[in-house]
Amino acid sequence: MKLKVVENDPVIVNQEQSNIIRFLPGAISAAPEEVVRYLAGSRFKEDPKMHDPLPAAIEQAIHLTSPVLVYRLNRVTALDASGRLIMESGLCLEAPQVERHPDTRYLASCVCSLGAALENACRRLTYRGQLFQAMLLDAAGVSLLDALANKSHELLSQRARGMQLFAGCPFGPGYQDMPMETQSLLFQLVDAGAIQVKLNESLVMEPMKSLSFFVRLSARENRRGPTVKCRRCNLKHCQFRAER
Partner 1 sequence: MAIKEIFDAVLALDEAQTADIVQAELDHGTDVMTILNEGLIAAMDEVGKRYSQGVFFVPEMLMAAQAMKRGVAVLHPHLVGAKARPKGTIVIGTVKGDQHDIGKNLVAMMLECAGFKVIDLGVDADAGKFLRAARKGNADIVAMSALLTTTMSAMGATISKLKREGSNPKTMVGGAPVTQAFADKIGADGYSPDAPGAVTVARRLVAK
Contact residues for partner 1 (CB under 8 A)? 39-41, 43-44, 47, 49-50, 123, 126, 129, 131-132, 134-136, 138, 174, 180-181, 200-204, 206, 208
Residues 6+ apart with CB under 8 A from 98: 171, 176, 224, 225, 232
> Closer CB to partner 1, residue 20 or residue 204?
204
**DSSP conformation class of 76:** E
* Shortest distance, position 54 Cβ to partner 1, whole Å: 10
Give CA 190 to chain center in angstroms. 14
- C-beta atoms surrounding 6 within 10 Å: 21
Terminal Cα distance for the chain, rounded: 43
* Shortest distance, position 137 Cβ to partner 1, whole Å: 11
> Closer CB to partner 1, residue 50 or residue 147?
50
Query: Are 138 and 237 in contact, with CB atoms under 8 Å apart?
Result: no
Segment 193-199 long-range contacts (CB within 8 Å, at least 24 positions apart):
194/18, 194/20, 194/70, 195/20, 195/68, 195/69, 195/70, 195/111, 195/113, 196/113, 196/115, 196/116, 197/70, 197/111, 197/113
> Closer CB to partner 1, residue 46 or residue 88?
46
Neighbouring-strand partners of residue 111? 70, 212
* Shortest distance, position 235 Cβ to partner 1, whole Å: 9
Amino acid in position 5: V
* Shortest distance, position 203 Cβ to partner 1, whole Å: 5
E strand or H helix at 68: strand 68-80
Length of the chain: 244
* Shortest distance, position 32 Cβ to partner 1, whole Å: 13
* Shortest distance, position 165 Cβ to partner 1, whole Å: 33
> Closer CB to partner 1, residue 26 or residue 129?
129
> Closer CB to partner 1, residue 44 or residue 158?
44
> Closer CB to partner 1, residue 79 or residue 136?
136
